[in-house]
Amino acid sequence: MCSWRLLIKKSSGLPQIFHVIQSSDTSTFDIKISFKDYFTDENRVLRKDPQQDYHLEYAMENSTHTILAFSRELHTCDANDKTITESTVRVIWAYHHRDMGEAGQNYHGLNRGTKSLRLLNPEKEEVLSASLPYFDLTNKDVPVPDKDTTYWCQMFKIPVQHEKHHVTKVEPLIQKGHENLVHHILLYQCSSNLNDSVLDYGHECYHPNMPDSFLTCETVIFAWAIGGEGFTYPPHVGLSIGTAADPQFVLMEVHYDNPSYTEGLIDNSGLRLIYTPVLRKYDAGVIEAGLWVSLFHNIPPGMPEFVSEGHCTLECLEEALGAERPAGIHVFAVLLHAHLAGRAIRMRHFRNGEEQKLLAYDDEFDFNFQEFQYLKEERTILPGDNLITECHYSTVDRIRMTWGGLSTRNEMCLSYLLYYPRINLTRCASIPDIMEQLQFIGVKEIYRPVRTWPFIIKSPKQYKNLSFMDAMNKFQWSRSKGLSYNDLVLKLPVNVRCSKTDNAEWSVSLSVEKESTMP
């Protein structure tokens, strides 16, 4: 059995962490410790656990801090304890300035908070010198519109050129007070044929009037999402910069999430890249896998659970790895990404039709805490393998369809694989067939040729001249119909879209193998 140790620091007062209570005399610092294992019942009443599984390792208090170090087994076989896994854990803390008395705990008032953690995510030791050079890629006074979702794109030129270096760490530079405004930051490699004129301005991404130069930026070289901290590359891997094959121009995409439509916001967030001339053994790459972001991905309302799958199939991996890297690539970290309806994400790995150990997973997905998971052991991906990004959603609080899209009120199902050595593959994602989705709700015919998006339905009469989005919303969904629809979607043929670093793209249409259906 394993145990974990958690160090809690609180600037003042007495913490009540998880269901562990500590009390002491803060006026004299003559510590008298009462450390017990508690749990809350269905009425949120605090009760002493008959099975005491938490063990105090260390306690200290001064005029500013109360510090506790304690341990417990990952699996206690106690129904009142939550099993500790590699998934996200939500730590809830509260404290009161008076000790707990015979009448029970004192109400904490506003002295409370939460923090999401991944307790078993292996820590990477900081081996970086404080004197290492760095450069910042930050927006300059971007006016954030008073609308729900904005994707802002800004082109930058990598300042390190003509000699190879390795980026060893990337840190988010989020403007103070904008921690909930900046939802994610993606860094794309762009064409090396651009010139410095593209650096003069930023523009809203995915906009009809955005600069043509943005269209050359398809290869993700780094990803950060809300709640994440800085990412340190392993000692044998780095992000290569400075050579002709490396990014010279990069596009930074910042997703601003402004559901309250706040006016007058000005943002200067971005990324800091720390680099070194001391080269690592391997160059890192990123593969974006999962579901292609589109309306073909949709989730009915009122569903306590709905499962979507994005496929990176052997046809795509064989094409990309076969010629370049038949011995395979080595994945060392994974970022799992969904939006507000997301409840769990799993990165499944198949070889020769047999499922391997999960590549990465989070069964307690927290939208506000998304960061790379370091793998305890690097995983080799071979040309004949299949990868499935499996996302679980809940839409019980929604009365209309949830659509794949850019807004946090839309949904995504993506995983970003950090791996080495770098190959010419940047994206491996799928979309399900749309016509059978329409047939499920009774659509007979659409207008052809398709001249609008979303396309318009011709028959039957109740859907005539509606877009397929309107038709899906008009359909009378129930949980049983939603389950039947989920079963259908997971068995639909998929179109797998594979993209290379040079923007070359190819597609593969195929039926989904039985192995990928909902468990």
Q: Could you tell me the strand order of the sheet in which 182-189 lies?
A: 202-204, 149-157, 249-257, 182-189, 219-225
User: Peptide bond preceding 454: is omega within 30 degrees of 0, i.e. cis?
Assistant: yes
Place of tokens 């160090």: 7
Task: Please say if 330 is a catalytic residue.
Answer: no
Tokens of 456: 């318009």
Task: Please name the residues in contact with 55: beta carbons below 8 A apart, sequence gap of 6 or more.
Answer: 70, 71, 72
Place of tokens 């974006």: 288
Q: How far apart are CA 443 and CA 461, in angstroms?
A: 9
DSSP 260-305: T--SSEEE--EEEEEEESS--SEE-EEEEEEE-SSTTSEE-TT-S-
Q: How far apart are CA 350 and CA 420, in angstroms?
A: 19
Which amino acid is present at 442?
Answer: G
Q: Which of 183, 337, 349, 392 is catalytic?
A: 337
Task: Please name the residues in contact with 215: beta carbons below 8 A apart, sequence gap of 6 or more.
Answer: none
Q: Which of 38, 151, 188, 374 is catalytic?
A: 151
Task: Please say if 485 is a catalytic residue.
Answer: no
User: Peptide bond preceding 211: is omega within 30 degrees of 0, i.e. cis?
Assistant: no
Tokens of 427: 């994206």
The strand pairing partners of 446, in sequence order, are 457
Containing 323, the helix (H) or strand (E) segment is helix 314-324
The answer to whether 118 and 89 are in contact (CB under 8 A) is yes
Which amino acid is present at 122?
Answer: P
Tokens of 438: 């329409």
Tokens of 8: 């809690």
Which of the residues are catalytic? 151, 337
